[in-house]
Amino acid sequence: MNYSVDERGYYGEYGGAFIPEMMYGNIEELRQNYRSILDNPDFQREFAQLLKDYVGRPTPLYLAERLSAFHKSRIYLKREDLNHTGAHKINNTVGQILIARRLGKTRIIAETGAGQHGVATATVCALKGMKCVVYMGQLDIERQEPNVLRMKMLGAEVIPVLSGNMTLKDATNEAIRDWINNPEDTHYIIGSVVGPHPYPDLVTRLQSVISDEMKWQLKEQTGRESPDFIVACVGGGSNAAGAFYHYLDNENVRLIAVEASGKGIDSGESAATMVLGRPGIIHGSRTILMQDDDGQITEPYSISAGLDYPGVGPIHSFLYQSKRAVFDHVTDDEAMEAAFRLTHLEGIVPALESAHALAVLDRYKFGEDHVVVVNLSGRGDKDMSTYMRYMDRYAAS
């Protein structure tokens, strides 16, 4: 089985580029150039240097001893929470800003839901002195004030989107409109392994640094490059794609992808795409997504803003269909319990998204000698007000 994208931008039957005619020029320019830029030694040197000195990579691979004792196996945490700006998203934005410069662009646009990708984009724009415009639904602006303030302090222009539900989907539409109107000077930084080809492949490659490091770190600490299991949460799927990438062809490594089931699969308030969705087209690619009988995209829900997405990147639809990865799902309450457990056992407050990955550890009968890597995609600072509401229930005993 081949898990790489093909010439036409497909993973099996998923992917492609379903875009308006007016966007063709921008996408084609990126498609024709991204591989040669990524393979260029000068790009690789600059990217590696920034990941090291600016982002703080390599992120540690940490053997969580008390968590391991609790789950009766050997659990390693890949510490993406220790990256600059607090999550894996910066790996992608650093890479894309370097690509934008090599394409001669001077202006960056992005969409953001919870604001995490907006902050990561505004950060690299400040770093490189590029103009930055972030589209964000008005409802999200009201819900995510700290991130809006951060983006503004970083010098980004945050444009409120008042159409539709005033959330991520509407912000994405506005960003696309902007790009069509500004094809010459603007690059659009998409924040996950979603969107038309070549974005899913581009973002996967930029995030693949996660599994690249895992290989030598595991070798150093366990004597072999491969773990038995890798667990990662999936919103659009970029941290999971990066954590899986270098192990895709090694079927001995079992991959577990975790979606958010919100208040429960049947509650009507969920983001468990693989259970509730079917193939369709969203944001320019064919993938599995949540939709009603008329093909209208269903509004997703999760307590964690980063997992609150109605689709998944096309690579994940293929990993699901081919059974290369197991897709599981976790409710708000299960994620909350796992977040407090990690905090109490290890002194690490995880992002709510990452807590979904931790929550499935309860479900699998890992052997005592099994090496399990959990990709800890981000830290929990941004989620403190949510955690506070649950503090009484999960107070340390």
Ligand X SMILES: *Cc1c(COP(=O)(O)O)cnc(C)c1O
Hey, which residues are catalytic here? 89, 111, 377
Among positions 137, 227, 237, 284, the unique one binding ligand X when judged by CB under 6 A: 237
Binding segment toward ligand X, per CB under 6 A, in 29-37, 42-50, 66-74, 234-242: 234-242
Contact of 319 with 204, CB cutoff 8 Å = no
Contact of 125 with 154, CB cutoff 8 Å = yes
- Quick count: other Cβ atoms within 10 Å of Cβ 388? 9
Task: Report, in Å, the least distance between residue 55 CB and ligand X.
Answer: 14
Q: Which of residues 364-393 bind ligand X (CB under 6 A)?
A: 377-378
Q: Rg of the Cα trace of the chain? A: 20
Could you say whether residue 306 binds ligand X (CB under 6 A)?
yes
Task: Report, in Å, the least distance between residue 33 CB and ligand X.
Answer: 23
List, as one string, the DSSP characters of 356-393.
HHHHGGGTS---TT-EEEEEE-BBSGGGHHHHHHTTTT
Task: Report, in Å, the least distance between residue 72 CB and ligand X.
Answer: 26
Contact of 351 with 374, CB cutoff 8 Å = no
Pairing verdict, β 74-79 and 254-262: unpaired
Taking the least distance from each CB to ligand X, the nearer of 37 and 82 is 82
Match 């895992």 to its residue by tokens. 214
Helix (H) or strand (E) holding 188: strand 186-188
Could you say whether residue 116 binds ligand X (CB under 6 A)?
yes
Could you say whether residue 234 binds ligand X (CB under 6 A)?
yes
**DSSP category for residue 21:** G
Could you say whether residue 9 binds ligand X (CB under 6 A)?
no
Separation CA 39–CA 47 (nearest Å):
11
Q: What angle do CA 356, 361, 366 make, to 5 degrees?
A: 155
Q: Which of residues 187-206 bind ligand X (CB under 6 A)?
A: 192
Taking the least distance from each CB to ligand X, the nearer of 130 and 376 is 376
Could you say whether residue 353 binds ligand X (CB under 6 A)?
yes
Binding segment toward ligand X, per CB under 6 A, in 4-12, 140-148, 161-169, 235-243: 235-243
Q: Which of residues 73-92 bind ligand X (CB under 6 A)?
A: 87, 89
SS3 call for 221:
helix
Taking the least distance from each CB to ligand X, the nearer of 26 and 147 is 147
Sequence-distant (6+) residues with CB within 8 A of 206 are 91, 92, 94, 95, 96, 242
Cα 82 to its chain centre, rounded Å, is 15
Task: Report, in Å, the least distance between residue 151 CB and ligand X.
Answer: 14
Q: Which of residues 150-179 bind ligand X (CB under 6 A)?
A: none
Task: Report, in Å, the least distance between residue 83 CB and ligand X.
Answer: 10
Beta bridge partners of 379: 350
Binding segment toward ligand X, per CB under 6 A, in 182-190, 230-238, 253-261, 322-330: 230-238
Separation CA 387–CA 385 (nearest Å):
6
Q: Which of residues 307-326 bind ligand X (CB under 6 A)?
A: 307
Taking the least distance from each CB to ligand X, the nearer of 291 and 302 is 302
Number of shown-chain residues binding ligand X (CB under 6 A): 18
Among positions 9, 58, 195, 236, the unique one binding ligand X when judged by CB under 6 A: 236
Q: By CB under 6 A, name the binding residues for ligand X.
A: 87, 89, 116, 192, 233-239, 306-307, 351, 353-354, 377-378
